[in-house]
């Protein structure tokens, strides 16, 4: 992979997920809430899915798939330790180099796991190839706005204590980029929308503890490797002021992606200009010619 495309230290991501595997149950309620919202989309289709791949589910996605009647699920994770406790057939694998033949699955789910991928368009292309015709892809990714108060507090503290700032929170995609990413990867009927989990914490330290438990520590290659000044974290966390209820808001903004692998049984848009009914007729209104006055 070209250096220009490498934003994240994937080896560090794996090590942090290895360490988090034993305590990830601490954040299971958050992961489950996100996964439930994502998998609700399965209720909108009459399709039955027999061969599923779930990527980075951290123990919550595979059981939810079984509860929805999915017969077989592979649980893949960059971390072998995390995959071992994920609930499906465990597989240590890299989202950037999927180890599957074309058309291996009819459902692929990635819940809050693709945001550490360096080449997201390339990973989506591989996911689409691993789907059978008419197979479904569902994903959520943290979107722009997630952890924004923490990002700002860390940046302001570092600017005061050092000459300049370094990235301490992962960059997240914008909602408007979602459908274009799916189209670029060759998905049919792409849909991108927004979901939000309004998370609140009693302290800033509790927020950091949840990030560690989920394996979500900073893995940006451009991070500052130096030990931060002693005053850095106390200054930054003090800037995260509680609201009227005494808690700190940490909303999780999620980009939700839905796309289908092209197949022969999918509905297709009619050719442009082939419609037999005008919009005016469809809405029961009077169609005026140029120059006509309303009501004539």
> pLDDT in tens for each of the 296 residues of the chain?
555 578 999 999 999 999 999 999 999 999 999 999 999 999 888 889 999 999 999 999 999 999 999 989 999 999 999 999 999 999 999 999 999 999 999 999 999 999 999 999 999 999 999 999 999 999 999 999 999 999 999 999 989 998 778 888 888 998 888 999 999 999 999 999 999 999 999 999 999 999 999 999 999 998 888 888 899 999 999 999 899 999 999 999 999 999 999 998 776 644 555 555 554 554 455 555 444 544 44
pLDDT value of residue 219 = 93
pLDDT value of residue 257 = 97
End-to-end Cα distance, the chain: 66
User: Under a CB-based contact definition with an 8 Å cutoff, are residues 52 and 108 in contact?
Assistant: yes
Distance CA 63, CA 70 (A): 10
CATH fit for domain 3-151+171-223+249-282, picks 1.20.58.760, 3.30.70.890, 3.40.50.150, 1.10.1740.10 = 3.40.50.150
Give domain limits for the chain: 3-151+171-223+249-282
What is the signed CA dihedral for 108, 113, 116, 121, rounded to 10 degrees?
A: 30
Distance CA 26, CA 22 (A): 10
DSSP strand pairing (200-201 vs 248-249):
antiparallel
Query: Which of 182, 180, 177 is closest to 194 using CA atoms?
Result: 177
248 DSSP β-pair partners: 201
pLDDT value of residue 143 = 95
pLDDT value of residue 273 = 57
pLDDT value of residue 175 = 87
pLDDT value of residue 275 = 52
């Amino acid at each position: 992979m070209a250096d220009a495309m490498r934003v994240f230290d994937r080896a560090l991501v794996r090590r942090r997920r290895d360490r988090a595997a034993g305590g990830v149950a601490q954040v299971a309620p958050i992961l489950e809430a996100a996964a439930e919202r994502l998998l609700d989309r399965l209720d909108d289709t009459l399709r039955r899915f027999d061969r599923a791949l779930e990527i980075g589910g951290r123990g919550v996605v595979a059981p939810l798939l079984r509860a929805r009647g999915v017969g077989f699920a592979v649980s893949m994770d960059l971390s072998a330790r995390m995959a071992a406790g994920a609930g499906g057939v465990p597989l240590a694998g890299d989202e950037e180099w999927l180890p599957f033949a074309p058309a291996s699955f009819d459902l692929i789910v990635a819940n809050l796991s693709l945001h550490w991928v360096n080449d997201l368009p390339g990973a989506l292309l591989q996911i689409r190839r691993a789907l059978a015709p008419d197979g479904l892809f569902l994903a959520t990714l943290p979107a722009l706005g997630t952890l924004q108060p923490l990002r700002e507090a860390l940046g302001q503290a570092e600017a005061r204590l050092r000459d300049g700032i370094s990235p301490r929170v992962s960059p997240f995609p914008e909602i408007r980029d979602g459908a274009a990413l799916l189209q670029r990867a060759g998905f049919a009927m792409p849909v991108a929308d927004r979901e939000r989990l309004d998370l609140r914490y009693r302290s800033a330290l509790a927020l950091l503890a949840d990030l560690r438990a989920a394996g979500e520590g900073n893995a940006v290659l451009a991070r500052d490797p130096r030990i931060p000044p002693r005053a850095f974290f106390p200054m930054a966390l003090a800037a995260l002021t509680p609201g009227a209820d005494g808690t700190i808001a940490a909303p999780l903004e999620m980009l939700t992606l839905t796309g289908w692998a092209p197949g022969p049984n999918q509905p297709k848009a009619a050719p442009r200009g082939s419609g037999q009914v005008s919009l005016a007729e469809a809405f029961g209104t009077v169609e005026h010619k140029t120059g006509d006055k309303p009501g004539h």
